[in-house]
Structure 1
Amino acid sequence: MKYAARIAALALAATLTGCATSNNPNDPLEGFNRAMFSFNDGVDRVALKPAAQAYDTVVPGPVQTGIGNFFGNIGDLWSSINQLLQGRIEQGVSTFMRVAINTTFGLGGVLDVATEARLPREKSDFGQTLGKWGVGSGPYVVLPFFGPSTLRDTAGLPIDLYGDLWTYKRPTRWRNVGSVVRVIDRRAQLLDASTLLEDAALDKYDFVRDAYLQRRQSQISGSRSGGGDQQKQEAVKP
């Protein structure tokens, strides 16, 4: 968590100093961001993607589903807290019920019983909460290892990390092993999408940036309205 907080602080400092500017109003730090994007892409190609491919080959599908469900259930508790902080009481209670049902009847969250009970997952984080409270997104920022973000979401990242129950898991060796498995499992879920991105995108950086900003605006608009899918989504223009 300390390392992640330092990354967030460095990104904030780089943003505030205005280094490596561009003419894109949503991406004034494009030079810096492209460098970080290239760094992250290199780490992914050399280490993360091969590990995810091996994981996807060796680990049976049902086990992968159980791992994803388990860590998703842990994340749901923090989502519930953020939804309550956003004033979305009904959604916050519904997400909390997801945690209670999956933890009790889903073998600690390994089975996603709540979705079958028509309690779908809706992720929420502290960056969205800040957006609900009226904090502007600020410029687009690419964080080393963490990837796409904004100034607002970067400021909220340390809070999200402290709100993640897995960071308090003891003994430390089990927490570390679980954290690695969690990252690899998430990357394995994106293998098909990343392959399509590499084949289709003329400029992968531009594609990822615009998709992230549009999706993030949709999430913030949904939290402000108290709804999600029915909210009219306003795309962020590059």
Structure 2
Amino acid sequence: MTLQRAFFAMALVSAAGACSVPGPNEAPDGIWDPYEASNRKIHAFNTGVDEKLLRGSGQGLSNAVPQDVRIVVGNFVDTTSLPKTVVNQVLQGRLGDATKNTLRFSINATMGFAGIFDVAADLGLPQDETDFGETLAVWGVPEGAYMELPLYGPSTERDTAGTVVDFFTNPLDYVLTTPQKRFKTGAWIFDEVQDRGQYSDTVDSVLYESADSYAQLRLMYLQNRRFELGEEPPASEEIDPLALDTEGF
């Protein structure tokens, strides 16, 4: 089953690589959205889920849970994602960064008590993330069309393929027991929900106060992602592309 899933993931990557699509600066207004009609339906669904399940609870969780607990969970989530980061950095040819993150994982997984403390940062090894979407960008795969995925949120064809592959590229998942995997997933969900609460004012202003929340979220995601990948500088001083994590709504 794992092998079949891996083949399916690589098929998506091949499909993304085969697409001939406009680049960020070649599409009209820098946005290529041929799936807008279906994307807007998914956006309406995601907004409805957010309003019913996350809008109040996320902020409530963020206020109710002590900051030290939120930090510990965030550290654990970062540590358990580091093997995937290392794999992608190797695939991107960033061997120095991969070595640093391997050391960061080793330190936090041991001296940091399974990653709940970020000891490595104090030793000069700060958090450094990447994903297979960025790997595809390094390999020259085009961004593709903008997409909004159910529950997951804004993406592109390239990042969607990368997200699928990332489900299988964390070596840690192949050595953890089933209860440990569930605990890891639960920690990730907790971290995402409390992030929703931390950025509640900004998220609410985009989703519930914008004249067109779909277009606003699309613009913010594309600016943020292209800035992360070095494909485009920030388009406006009014929007800090690093101020908001648009994943998961």
TM-score (norm 2): 0.74
Residue matched to 1:217: 226
User: What SS does structure 1 have at the residue aligned with 2:93?
Assistant: coil
Aligned with 1:138 (options 141, 144, 151):
144
Q: Deviations over 1:139-191 (max 9, x none)?
A: 00001011111101111222101124565576545533542342132221232
Q: Residue 204 of structure 1 aligns to which amino acid in structure 2?
A: S
The Cα RMSD (Å) is 3.0
Aligned with 1:208 (options 217, 222, 238):
217
Q: Deviations over 1:108-157 (max 9, x none)?
A: 11001111112111210001001100000100000101111110111122
Percent of pairs with identical residues: 32
- Size of the aligned set, in residue pairs, is 214
- Say if 1:57 and 1:165 are closer, same or farther in 2 by CA, change over 3 A: farther
User: What SS does structure 2 have at the residue aligned with 1:163?
Assistant: coil
Correspondence 1:79-98 to 2 at 5 A = 79-98=85-104
Residue matched to 1:234: 233
Residues 29 and 141, structure 1, Cα contact 8 Å, conserved in 2: yes
Question: Displacement of 1:206 after TM fit?
Answer: 1.9
Question: Displacement of 1:199 after TM fit?
Answer: 3.0
User: What SS does structure 2 have at the residue aligned with 1:67?
Assistant: helix
Separation in structure 1 between the aligned mates of residue 157 and residue 235 of structure 2, nearest angstrom: 15
Aligned with 1:109 (options 109, 115, 119):
115
Separation in structure 1 between the aligned mates of residue 73 and residue 199 of structure 2, nearest angstrom: 20
User: Per residue, is there more helix in 1 or in 2?
Assistant: 1
Q: Residue 190 of structure 2 aligns to which amino acid in structure 1?
A: I
Separation in structure 1 between the aligned mates of residue 214 and residue 97 of structure 2, nearest angstrom: 34
- Say if 1:64 and 1:165 are closer, same or farther in 2 by CA, change over 3 A: farther
Residue 125 (1) aligns with residue 131 (2):
yes
Separation in structure 2 between the aligned mates of residue 178 and residue 188 of structure 1, nearest angstrom: 16
- Say if 1:181 and 1:89 are closer, same or farther in 2 by CA, change over 3 A: closer
- Say if 1:53 and 1:235 are closer, same or farther in 2 by CA, change over 3 A: closer
Residues 143 and 149, structure 1, Cα contact 8 Å, conserved in 2: yes
- Say if 1:34 and 1:195 are closer, same or farther in 2 by CA, change over 3 A: same
Aligned with 2:32 (options 13, 26, 29):
26
Q: Deviations over 1:5-40 (max 9, x none)?
A: 89xx8xx9xxx9xxxxxx874222112111111111
- Say if 1:157 and 1:56 are closer, same or farther in 2 by CA, change over 3 A: same
Unaligned runs of 5+ in 1: 17-22, 223-232
Question: Displacement of 1:55 after TM fit?
Answer: 2.8
Bigger relative CO (Cα 8 Å, ≥ 6 apart): 2
Q: Residue 234 of structure 1 aligns to which amino acid in structure 2?
A: P
TM-score (norm 1): 0.77
Residue matched to 1:230: none
Residue matched to 2:245: none
Separation in structure 2 between the aligned mates of residue 83 and residue 52 of structure 1, nearest angstrom: 32
Separation in structure 1 between the aligned mates of residue 148 and residue 126 of structure 2, nearest angstrom: 30
